[in-house]
């Protein structure tokens, strides 16, 4: 293997050459592990994880880390150094954003162990995050919003409320992925977030919305001026929210609204998980509190014990004592 010394100084070049020869000899004769860097790990990670739906997000995180981790030997990636860098991310953004980057660093270092590039990896604890409420809107609010949206966004928002599809899956939905006779649609594994196929049962409203798109584009269902739509968080969307009197609401919250409506209508959590394509039931339980009615029977189990406490609790203690005397 040929390698540039990166210097015109013959003495420095010879020194580098001797070091490389010595390192190679130790690797071959003594079985020493080569010195891999974070750059090596990042490149291999992207190469082996290119199938991930979130690979673009990984690339964004790695790009942010690069000024701090560039050229760092893996054996020097200790907890103190990593957390010092993540503190910068936390201050720039939020604990939640820092945790997303931390999760990637942890995953890459674990793979370095599998690749036999490291013996062990530092234990990295996530930052505490504030639990955010599920943001959803009522049917009255949804009606106001749909009235304010331009036609192409109105149909897409209405379809999201009818199916719960993520924005990327909806905007990329092809005519070949729907069967209006059977009233079904499907998301291929390479299109879904968790790389598992999703079957979508189309309501009458969803079918009607799709039929309105016929003849606009031979490939994509949802379009604007005949072209596929890739951006929905537009000025038109934001202005419609203002006119409808709805604040703190993102496009993705349409999916939260769909799930919330289902729970309140009695759809079991396990069925909702399958319909929404969530990987684990824990991700769906955040909607369970919206319909506590199913717990009514269990709540009544202690009613007998409560009633036995008596009616004297409403009377002042001294009156109860006088009756006893």
- Residue 7 tokens read as 């210097």
68 is catalytic: no
Who has greater pLDDT, 257 or 30? 257
Is the pLDDT assigned to residue 298 strictly greater than 70? no
Is the pLDDT reported for residue 212 higher than 90?
A: yes
Catalytic residue among 61, 89, 158, 166: 166
Name the active-site residue from 89, 255, 256, 262: 255
What does the pLDDT read at residue 316? 54
271 assigned to active site: no
Pick from 73-82, 225-234, 309-318: least confident: 309-318
pLDDT digits (tens, 9 = 90+) for 109-148: 999 999 999 999 999 998 887 666 678 889 999 999 999 9
pTM attached to this predicted model: 0.60
CA distances from 231 to 42, 174, 237, 282 (A): 29, 17, 10, 30
Average pLDDT, the chain: 82
Whether residue 152 lies in the annotated active site: no
287 is catalytic: yes
Reply yes or no on whether the pLDDT at 277 is more than 90. no
Which entry of 44, 135, 144, 193 is annotated as an active-site residue?
Answer: 193
Please count the other Cβ atoms lying within 10 Å of the Cβ belonging to residue 83: 17
User: For this structure, is 285 an active site residue?
Assistant: no
User: pLDDT at position 175, please?
Assistant: 96
> Can you tell me the distance from the alpha carbon of 201 to that of 184, in angstroms, rounded to the nearest whole number?
5
* Catalytic-role residue among 49, 252, 285, 286: 252
Per-residue pLDDT band for 6 (boundaries 50, 70, 90) equals: very low
According to DSSP, the residues that pair with 224 across neighbouring strands are: 227
**Is the predicted pLDDT of residue 70 greater than 70, yes or no?**
yes
Show Cβ contacts of residue 40 under 8 Å, excluding neighbours closer than 6 positions.
74, 117
Backbone Cα Rg of the chain: 29
Q: What tokens were used for 59?
A: 């690339």
Q: Catalytic one among 38, 136, 237, 287?
A: 287
Across the range 240-262, mean pLDDT stands at 92
Q: Is 10 an annotated catalytic residue?
A: no
């Amino acid at each position: 293997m040929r390698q540039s010394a990166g210097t015109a100084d013959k003495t420095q070049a010879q020194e580098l050459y001797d070091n490389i020869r010595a390192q190679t000899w130790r690797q071959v004769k003594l079985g020493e592990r080569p010195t891999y860097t974070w750059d090596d790990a990042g490149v291999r990670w992207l190469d082996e994880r290119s199938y991930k739906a979130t690979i673009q997000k990984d690339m964004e995180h790695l790009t942010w880390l690069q000024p701090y981790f560039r050229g760092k030997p893996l054996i020097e990636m200790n907890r103190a150094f990593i957390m010092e860098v993540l503190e910068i991310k936390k201050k720039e953004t939020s604990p939640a954003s820092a945790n997303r980057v931390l999760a990637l660093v942890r995953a890459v270092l674990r793979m370095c162990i599998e690749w036999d590039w490291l013996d062990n990896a530092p234990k990295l604890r996530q930052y505490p995050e504030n639990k955010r409420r599920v943001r959803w809107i009522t049917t009255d609010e949804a009606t106001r919003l749909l009235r304010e949206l331009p036609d192409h966004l109105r149909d897409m928002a209405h379809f999201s409320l009818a199916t719960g599809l993520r924005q990327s899956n909806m905007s990329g939905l092809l005519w070949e992925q729907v069967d209006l006779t059977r009233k079904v649609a499907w998301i291929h594994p390479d299109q879904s977030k968790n790389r598992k196929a999703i079957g979508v049962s189309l309501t009458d409203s969803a079918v009607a919305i799709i039929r309105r798109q016929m003849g606009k584009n031979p490939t994509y269902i949802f379009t604007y001026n005949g072209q596929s739509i890739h951006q929905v968080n537009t000025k038109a969307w934001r202005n419609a929210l203002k006119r409808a009197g709805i604040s703190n609401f993102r496009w993705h919250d349409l999916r939260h609204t769909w799930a919330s409506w289902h729970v309140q209508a009695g759809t079991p959590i396990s069925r909702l998980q399958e319909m929404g394509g969530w990987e684990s039931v824990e991700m769906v339980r955040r909607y369970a509190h919206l319909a506590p009615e199913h717990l009514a029977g269990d709540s009544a189990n202690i009613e007998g014990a409560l009633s036995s406490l008596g009616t004297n609790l409403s009377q002042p203690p001294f009156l109860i004592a006088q009756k006893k005397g």
